Structure 1
């Protein structure tokens, strides 16, 4: 099964992953192999990728502009046109080599071109390793509104090699920690305690934690692939986090936040709301807040900023019948989905964040 990849979406690591990938490409005899990267990935990761892959096939490299601002349908159109010009057919394959933008957009491009090409994800950022590349969610933003256009299609495989993390700036490494911290909160106190004190310089222990984080997400998406119930827990902190990310992306007065930076704020806000509405332990709330603020600098929100963030909530994909629905926690590992939250409670959460 490792060679033929009869089961889609399996995650492989390091040397085994490269072996499985090479064997798969030799067996498939694809008409064309396309590598989708962005400018940063091409510069910092492509040499290592080519060295590890060790195949003799011709590779077509497609490069997009780096950054969330380019995760849109216009970039997709350029890639679709290039695929068409280069003779891509339904026996072609796309290897997405990059962070969350590349894996999200690349999966969407592959899933829709000629009604679906096979694709493989090789995440090069921590965020993409523990979140974006796993679970089959592919898509792009609609203007500044996050992930409004997309499909759920599993990659043929995911190959995680933590060597790529050595190419990341500190902020991008920290950004991925937000999703790992979230996995701890929705999964178990044991994993939360381990991840909150993580030492990213301890490569062996850090890789173990990454694998556990991926396993947590894999277990959830396997049980609920279409996000009817359990998978919604992966959105913990994302309802307000995505709204904050979209607002900062749109605003000329605000810095553009990395996904994890926005989600980290959203986690604090959602945990405060959980304390106020579901009795999440106050001591644990303060522990969560202290932990996250040790990694992520506090952002400033005026009343008008908060009003603008709240307006973005109407675009959240969990909404139903015009109601904004949150994932909240009664305790670590104890979730409640489809929770309605008042604006006054959201303002209270921002006040807590500001004054902690």
Structure 2
């Protein structure tokens, strides 16, 4: 597959990843290299990566605990200290081998350690392949508030090899699929139609589906790298989805939701709002709801929790001057950003989801 070029980075696919990586490592002549993993990618993915590196380099492996709950400044502090103690300088390289937590957090660490060292993302989950590793967004959570601290700075390259997906649990695959569905909903009805029926999908087509999803996201972020306008489209489903994810992340009596599971709920609710405020048809709303619920189990959101979830919306990063701003759909394949929604309609979107 042809590499996808963004403003400052290149996304490689399949075996070409490792040709590009070895060429880069030889030319760059980094003083030291660290590979950031979590305990899962250390066990299941690191050996594959190491087997592809052709020459001997001074490589350190730094491991963190898996999961969104560890995507915080405390984890960063531990890694910054580790890099310092290991003698990493500004000519060093950080390779992030993992899902969205590792690539988001690792990118942030690289951008801030000694005011910036080079980094490479090697996503190992479907979610990270189609979303977290592309576009230069890095960051960590502040308490239960998603990605509140971070910078936008692209990696040297992104390497997407679907062989890493072989050990991924089904729920993690589905989590990534939510972002692929989102890309279709905001930009490309044909792509949505292609992937919306999982029963018709051939696993052999997965590489092409991922490629097409990255093309959609890359086109948007190349035109608007700092999210001044159309990059906001990528937040469809995320205003309510992030609030739901944050609420469930730290509530002692609630299950922790994967990112894609929360965004799936957010997309249904925000599609409902779109049908009430914009031109999304009732037929398309029902189709979106049916497709998402065919993949993602319905979550019981109790009525007594609605207001507490809504209180978290004020922290959404798209907000301006205290106004909560949504991305909504005008149709499948077309979106509008900077939409305001009153509280009564948000509450009705909860009830719509509950009624399905």
Q: TM-score, normalised by structure 2?
A: 0.97
- Count of matched residue positions in the alignment of Structure 1 and Structure 2: 354
Residue 332 of structure 1 deviates from its aligned partner by 1.6
Structure 2 segments unaligned to the other structure (5+ residues):
none
Aligned to 1:91: 91
Note the aligned Cα RMSD (angstroms).
1.6
Look up the match of 1:135: 135
| Deviation at residue 69 of structure 1 after TM alignment | 0.3
Structure 1 moving runs of 4+ over 6 Å: none
User: In the TM superposition, what whole-angstrom CA distance separates every residue of 1:270-303 from its partner, at most 9, and x where no partner exists?
Assistant: 0000001102111011011001001111111122
- Counting only pairs closer than 5 Å after superposition, residues 251-266 of structure 1 correspond to structure 2 as 251-266=251-266
* Counterpart position of 1:243: 243
Taking the aligned partners of 1:181 and 1:341, their CA distance within structure 2 comes to 23
State the partner residue of 1:189. 189
1:211 equivalent in alignment to 2:211: yes
- 1-side partners of 2:323 and 2:35: how far apart? 41
Residue aligning to 1:278: 278
Residue of structure 2 in register with 1:330 after alignment: 330
How far apart in 1 are the matches of 2:306 and 2:31? Answer: 51
Q: CA deviation at 1:29?
A: 1.0
Structure 2 equivalent of residue 308 of structure 1: 308
What does 1:104-119 align with in structure 2 at a 5 Å threshold? 104-119=104-119
What's the CA shift for 1:199? 5.6
Offset of 1:353 from its aligned partner? 0.8
Unaligned runs of 5+ in 1: none
1:245/1:157 CA distance change after superposition, 3 Å: same
Distance in 2, matches of 1:329 and 1:201, equals: 25
Tell me the equivalent position of 2:43. 43
TM-aligned CA deviation for residue 125 of structure 1:
0.2
Deviates more, 1:339-348 or 1:88-97: 339-348
Structure-2 separation of matches of 1:15 and 1:55: 17
**In the alignment, is the contact (CA less than 8 A) between 2:249 and 2:255 conserved in 1?**
yes
Distance, in Å, in 2 between the alignment partners of 1:200 and 1:172 is 20
Partner of 2:71: 71
Q: Shift of residue 204 of structure 1?
A: 2.5
TM-score when scaled to structure 1? 0.97
Q: Secondary structure at the match of 1:247?
A: helix
- 1:195 CA drift (Å): 1.2
